[in-house]
Structure 1
Amino acid sequence: MAKLIQDPQIAQRMGIEARRHFNINKDANVMLDIDSSFTFIEANRFGGPIPNSLANLTQLNKFLVFSNSLTGPIPSWLGNFSKLVELNFADNHLNGSVPALFSNLTNLKVLYLGNNSLSGVVEFQMFQKLQNLKELGLASNNLEFVTERFPNIMDATVPQFRILYLHSCNLKEFPYFLRNQTKLERLEMRGNNIHGEVPNWLWNISKETLTLVDITDNFLSGELPVVIPWVNMRCLRLSNNSFRGPLPIPPPSLLEYGATNNKFTGEISPLLCNMNSLLYLDVSKNNLSGTLPQCLGNFSDGLMLLLLGSNSFHGMMPQSFNNRSNLRMIDVSHNQLQGQLPRALANCVMLEYLVLSNNQFSDVFPIWLGTLPELKLLAMRHNGFNGVIGHTRTNIDFPKLRILDLSYNNFTGAIPPLFPNIIVNMSTYMQAEVRYVVTTVYVTRSVPLSITIAIKGLELYYSKIQEGLAAIDFSSNKFEGKIPEFIGNLTELRSLNISNNILTGSIPSSLGNLRKLESLDLSRNKLSGQIPQQLTQLTFLGTFDVSHNNLTGPIPQGTQLTSLNSTSYEGNLGLCGDPLPNKCGEAPQRPPSTEEDNGSGSTGMVEFDLKFVLAGIGSGFVVGVVLADVVITRRQELFLRVVGMVRLMIWKSGSIPASFSNLINLEILYLHSNNLSGVVEFQMFEKQQNLYQLQLSWNNFEFVTESNMMNATVRQFTILGLSSCNLKEFPYFLRNQTKLEQLDMARNQIHGEVPNWMWNISKETLVLLDISGNLFSGELPAVIPWVNLNGLRSLVPKLLKQAASRSTETERE
Structure 2
Amino acid sequence: MAQTLFLLFFLVILLLSSSAHSNSPPQQTLLLNPSDLSALSQIKNDLQTSNFLSTWNFSSPSPCTSFSGLICSLDPTTQTLKVSSLTLGTGLAGDSPSLTGKLSPAIANLTALSEFIVHSGGIYGTIPSQLGYLTQLQFISITNNLISGPIPFSFSNLLNLHTLDLGDNKINGQVPPNLTTLPNLKILILASNRLSGELPKIETQLLHLDLRSNYFSGQLPYLPSSLRYLSLSDNKMWGPLDNIHSLLNLTFLDLSMNNFNGGIPESLFFQNEVGPTGEELSSLLLQRNNLSGGIPAVGLTSTWTVVDLSHNFLSGELSAILAGVQSLYLNNNRFSGIVPLEYVLGVYGGSMKTLYLQHNYLTGFPLPAGSPVPESASLCLCYNCMVPPVGPTVCPASAGGQLSRPAYQCATTPPPQR
TM-score, with length taken from structure 1: 0.37
For residue 313 of structure 1, report the CA deviation from its aligned partner. Answer: 0.8
Partner of 2:297: 294
Considering Cα pairs closer than 8 Å and 6+ residues apart, tell me whether 1 or 2 has the greater RCO: 2
For residue 373 of structure 1, report the CA deviation from its aligned partner. Answer: 6.3
Partner of 1:331: 329
1:50 match: secondary structure: helix
**Correspondence for 1:216 among 208, 212, 227:** 212
Aligned ranges 1:47-446 → 2 under 5 Å? 48-51=51-54, 54-55=57-58, 56=60, 57-60=62-65, 63-64=68-69, 83-88=82-87, 89-92=89-92, 93-124=98-129, 126-147=130-151, 157-169=157-169, 170-199=171-200, 202-204=201-203, 206=204, 208=205, 210-225=206-221, 228-247=222-241, 248-249=243-244, 250-276=246-272, 277-295=280-298, 298=301, 301-320=302-321, 325=324, 327-345=325-343, 346-347=345-346, 349-364=350-365, 366-367=367-368, 375-386=376-387, 389=389, 404-405=394-395
Instruction: Measure the CA separation in 1 of the matches of 2:320 and 2:145.
Output: 47
1:417-473 C-alpha deviation (Å, 9 max, x unpaired): xxxxxxxxxxxxxxxxxxxxxxxxxxxxxxxxxx4446xxxx5xxxxxxxxxxxxx6
Change (3 A) 1:193 1:214: same
Aligned ranges 1:574-653 → 2 under 5 Å? none
Instruction: Measure the CA separation in 2 of the matches of 1:313 and 1:477.
Output: 18
Aligned ranges 1:743-762 → 2 under 5 Å? none
Aligned length, in residue pairs: 331
1:87 match: secondary structure: strand
1:275 match: secondary structure: coil
1:88-137 C-alpha deviation (Å, 9 max, x unpaired): 2351521111122211111211111032110112222x213322111101
Residue identity opposite 2:305 in structure 1:
M
Contact 1:278 1:302 in 2 (8 A): no
Change (3 A) 1:175 1:311: same
Instruction: Measure the CA separation in 1 of the matches of 2:67 and 2:292.
Output: 53
For residue 257 of structure 1, report the CA deviation from its aligned partner. Answer: 0.3
1:583-636 C-alpha deviation (Å, 9 max, x unpaired): xxxxxxxxxxxxxxxxxxxxxxxxxxxxxxxxxxxxxxxxxxxxxxxxxxxxxx
Matched residues, percent identical? Answer: 21
Instruction: Measure the CA separation in 2 of the matches of 1:131 and 1:304.
Output: 41
Residue identity opposite 1:290 in structure 2:
G
Aligned ranges 1:689-704 → 2 under 5 Å? none
Instruction: Measure the CA separation in 2 of the matches of 1:474 and 1:54.
Output: 68
Aligned ranges 1:387-536 → 2 under 5 Å? 389=389, 404-405=394-395, 451-453=396-398, 459=400
Residue identity opposite 1:377 in structure 2:
S
Contact 1:82 1:105 in 2 (8 A): no
1:246-279 C-alpha deviation (Å, 9 max, x unpaired): 1131521100000011111111121223423100
1:474-498 C-alpha deviation (Å, 9 max, x unpaired): 85799xxxxxxxxxxxxxxxxxxxx
| Residue segments in structure 1 that go unaligned for 5+ positions in a row | 1-35, 40-46, 66-80, 391-397, 406-450, 460-472, 479-813
For residue 294 of structure 1, report the CA deviation from its aligned partner. Answer: 2.8
Residue identity opposite 2:304 in structure 1:
L
1:334 match: secondary structure: coil
Contact 1:252 1:274 in 2 (8 A): no
Contact 1:285 1:311 in 2 (8 A): yes
1:143 match: secondary structure: strand
1:65-101 C-alpha deviation (Å, 9 max, x unpaired): 9xxxxxxxxxxxxxxx962222223515211111222
Change (3 A) 1:386 1:244: same
For residue 192 of structure 1, report the CA deviation from its aligned partner. Answer: 1.8
For residue 367 of structure 1, report the CA deviation from its aligned partner. Answer: 4.7
Partner of 2:410: none
Residue identity opposite 1:268 in structure 2:
I
| Residue segments in structure 2 that go unaligned for 5+ positions in a row | 1-28, 33-49, 71-79, 93-97, 273-279, 407-418
1:502-539 C-alpha deviation (Å, 9 max, x unpaired): xxxxxxxxxxxxxxxxxxxxxxxxxxxxxxxxxxxxxx
2:107 match: secondary structure: helix
Partner of 2:3: none
2:135 match: secondary structure: coil
For residue 316 of structure 1, report the CA deviation from its aligned partner. Answer: 1.0
Instruction: Measure the CA separation in 2 of the matches of 1:190 and 1:215.
Output: 4
TM-score, with length taken from structure 2: 0.70
For residue 223 of structure 1, report the CA deviation from its aligned partner. Answer: 1.2
Residue identity opposite 1:85 in structure 2:
S
Change (3 A) 1:179 1:380: closer
Contact 1:238 1:258 in 2 (8 A): yes
Change (3 A) 1:183 1:369: farther
Change (3 A) 1:154 1:347: closer
Instruction: Measure the CA separation in 1 of the matches of 2:299 and 2:254.
Output: 16
Contact 1:330 1:353 in 2 (8 A): yes
2:261 match: secondary structure: strand
Change (3 A) 1:192 1:180: same
Residue identity opposite 1:233 in structure 2:
L
Contact 1:123 1:147 in 2 (8 A): no
1:384-409 C-alpha deviation (Å, 9 max, x unpaired): 1238x57xxxxxxx7xx5x534xxxx
Change (3 A) 1:266 1:273: same
Residue identity opposite 1:354 in structure 2:
L
2:202 match: secondary structure: helix
Residue identity opposite 1:251 in structure 2:
L
Instruction: Measure the CA separation in 1 of the matches of 2:136 and 2:68.
Output: 17
Instruction: Measure the CA separation in 1 of the matches of 2:167 and 2:233.
Output: 14
Instruction: Measure the CA separation in 2 of the matches of 1:259 and 1:245.
Output: 12
Residue identity opposite 1:58 in structure 2:
P
